[in-house]
Structure 1
Amino acid sequence: MKIVATCLGDKKEIEWKGETVTTGIFKYAVDKPVFLDLEDVKGDTICNRENHGGILQAIYGYSLKHYAYFKEFHPNLDFEMGIFGENLTTDDLDETKIHQGDTFKVGDAILEVTLPRNPCYKLGIRFNDMKIVKQFWNTTFCGVYFKVLQTGFVKTGDVFQQIKSCPKNPTIADLYIAEHTKKGL
């Protein structure tokens, strides 16, 4: 697994259903190393700290391989790196093979896999199409949240080197499916 883009976003206000919504989901690739801190990526904006950022959701990783699936549903959309709100776009992140607790060294940082990402309406705002939320739910292409065990810089091209494997723990896909079941989706 390798980083193909590091992505940051600024606070953005969007009109949605007659209300102003503040979001940090509009992330774009940057051409510089980014610093992974204990609760977020330095220089990135998180507007909803209740559901994003913090110790267990400090970094969001998403696979470039998943982009192709969603391009089928949204062929006229420009799929820029970071469109799913991820901080790290990787070449191949497979939620069915990554277990909660798996730990990786990448760049100067050490990251531990914690949780899947559950989509909300702000993903629909980013895509300008609320159908993406259900399309996202109907896959296991949820991406991975990471806890930062060691802070540090990462950059495009850095490779994830697994330093701890937790095969007895559930995969991220298993946790995501369990969340579906709990919510009756």
Structure 2
Amino acid sequence: MAKVIAINISDKKGIIKTSIKEGIFIEEYGLKGDAHAGKWHRQVSLLAKESIDKMIEMGVTGLVPGKFAENITTEDIVLYRLPVGTKLKIGDTVQEITQIGKECHKGCAIKQQVGKCIMPTEGVFTRVLKGGIIKPGDTIEIMKIKNR
């Protein structure tokens, strides 16, 4: 069963995030207190533990949830294969996938520290349709897959 393994937050963009015990996700805004939150299509970022494990297998050490600046670290769900428009029930929230992958900006702290970033190909971005609290251990349910 797909689940949340970490909630991560930072007060500046482009830096590694710190794990927190629970996150308050605000409708049409994102994670309360996070630098990436706002009225846009990339309110929340998600990355699977399995994607992080790929980097570990390539020899990158010291990787923990939040190291790729993801807000939600997941397990047992292949996020980047879900089409844009897919709705996910995560904890108390409902989120919609709005983008898969992103271009790393020049001077990205993650790429500098880690050497490579997996977010451009396997990171997923959502907007919050229904706010609520998310904690590690919460389940992730695919609600609806929109046809491409």
Shared fold, TM over 0.5: yes
1:160 aligned partner, one-letter code: I
Q: Are the structure 2 counterparts of residues 29 and 123 from structure 1 closer, same or farther at C-alpha, using a change threshold of 3 Å?
A: farther
Greater RCO (CA < 8 Å, at least 6 residues apart): 2
Q: Is the aligned partner of 1:61 residue 2:41?
A: no
The answer to whether the 8 A contact 2:47-2:79 is kept is no
Specify the alignment match of 1:42 in structure 2: 32
1:61 aligned partner, one-letter code: L
Partner Cα distance (1:103, 1:155) in 2: 19
Equivalent of residue 89 in structure 1, options 65, 73, 82 = 73
1:59 Cα deviation after fit = 0.8
What TM-score comes out, normalization by structure 2 length? Answer: 0.83
1:123 Cα deviation after fit = 7.6
Specify the alignment match of 2:124 in structure 1: 144
Q: What is the SS of the residue equivalent to 2:29?
A: coil
1:124 Cα deviation after fit = 4.4
What TM-score comes out, normalization by structure 1 length? Answer: 0.68
Partner Cα distance (1:130, 1:81) in 2: 13
Specify the alignment match of 2:138 in structure 1: 158
Q: Are the structure 2 counterparts of residues 80 and 115 from structure 1 closer, same or farther at C-alpha, using a change threshold of 3 Å?
A: same
The answer to whether the 8 A contact 2:30-2:127 is kept is no
Aligned residues: 146
1:162 Cα deviation after fit = 2.0
Equivalent of residue 111 in structure 1, options 95, 103, 124 = 95
Tell me the C-alpha RMSD between the 2 structures. Answer: 2.4
Q: Are the structure 2 counterparts of residues 87 and 94 from structure 1 closer, same or farther at C-alpha, using a change threshold of 3 Å?
A: same
Q: Are the structure 2 counterparts of residues 126 and 92 from structure 1 closer, same or farther at C-alpha, using a change threshold of 3 Å?
A: same
The answer to whether the 8 A contact 1:10-1:26 is kept is no
Structure with the larger helix share = 1
> In percent, how many aligned pairs have the same letter?
25
1:58 Cα deviation after fit = 0.9
Partner Cα distance (1:4, 1:115) in 2: 21
Q: Deviations over 1:11-59 (max 9, x none)?
A: 3xxxxxxxxxxx342202112x21112222102123xxxxx75331111
**Higher Rg of the two aligned structures:** 1
Specify the alignment match of 1:26 in structure 2: 16
2:123 aligned partner, one-letter code: G
- Give 5+ residue unaligned stretches, structure 2: none
The answer to whether the 8 A contact 1:62-1:93 is kept is no
